[in-house]
Structure 1
């Protein structure tokens, strides 16, 4: 899953949310210097990623992209699924998306000094271009995919993936809806397990 889903699945626990957000920028087990709950957020992030990668519905989504994008298919699906979370946000949260993402940006900016260097580099761009809110729009998804394609020097061709999103829109949407229900259940159990240990 991508940024918005990981943040949402942190259940408004600030430290879990920070850990879940920074986890991709943490190598191996080098996170013992963080608070206990930030560490648990990192562990939760990795559990969510493992669950997602092994889920049959996600594999079905990836198959639609694999021939064109190879091993980048999973990255693209993560972004597509954040799009569907954003456009269906009212089904998952009583807090309007714009208010939610503003509170997330504020939390991360208030804790900027403890964020890994790569996260510190990323966050200003995320806030400036309001990625989390703009995932709901085709242009927002296209901009993110263009940026990721540039980071692969054009090898990934992710800049073309909005074509696939539109071509298989209903199928991807249905995949997301069914999968996210399972993921919510999994992450709730995992979070409760982490917080009670």
Structure 2
């Protein structure tokens, strides 16, 4: 899952949201340097990534992008599934996507100086572009994939990826819906049963 899903799956806790948002940028046991709720979010982030890596529906979705993205097809699904969450947001939240994004942007700005340096570097653009809100549009997905290709080793097949989303929309929607039901339950149980690290 990408930023939007990680934040949504965190529940209402600001600390858990922050931890889940920065999870990719906190390696090994460095999570122990953060306050308890942020640590909880970092560990939840890791659980989400592991769950997705092992789930048959996310595997099936990734296969639709393997022809061009090969081993990076799983990375593409992180973004594609955020698209389906944003597109179907009203099904999962009583709060509008616009208001949710405003809320988390305010949280990031308020806690700016405790964010890892890499996050502080890209955060202004993430906020200014309203990237998470724009995940609902295919143009927003294409732009995100282009940005990722420009800053990582991900190959730039963004236009082709969007073509695959359009071509396989019904299948991807069904796969996302089934997967998201499972991961929501996993996160609920993790947060309910978490006793500290």
Report TM bin, short chain: over 0.9
Matching of residue 121 in structure 1 with residue 125 in structure 2: no
Partners of 1:115 and 1:18 in 2: CA distance = 8
Moved over 3 A (4+): 152-156
Q: Structure 1 residues 90, 70: CA separation in 2 closer, same or farther (over 3 Å shift)?
A: same
Q: Which moved more, 1:29-38 or 1:109-118?
A: 29-38
Q: Structure 2 length normalisation: TM-score?
A: 0.95
The answer (yes or no) to whether the contact 2:40–2:196 under 8 Å persists in 1 is no
Aligned counterpart, 1:140: 140
Give the gaps of 5 or more residues in structure 2. Answer: none
Specify whether residues 20 and 152 from structure 1 end up closer, same or farther in structure 2 by C-alpha distance, changes over 3 A only: closer
CA change 1:128–1:58 in 2 (3 A) is same
Coordinate RMSD, CA, aligned: 1.5
Q: In the TM superposition, what are the counterparts of 1:26-41 in structure 2 within 5 Å?
A: 26-41=26-41
Stretch moving more, 158-167 or 121-130: 158-167
Is 2:79 aligned against 1:79?
yes
TM-score (norm 1): 0.95
C-alpha distance in 1 between matches for 2:40 and 2:156: 32
| Aligned counterparts of 2:132 and 2:155: Cα–Cα separation in 1 | 25
Q: For 1:29, what is the secondary structure of its paired residue?
A: helix
1:11: which partner in 2? 11
Q: What residue in structure 2 maps to residue 52 of structure 1?
A: 52
How many angstroms does 1:155 deviate by?
A: 3.2
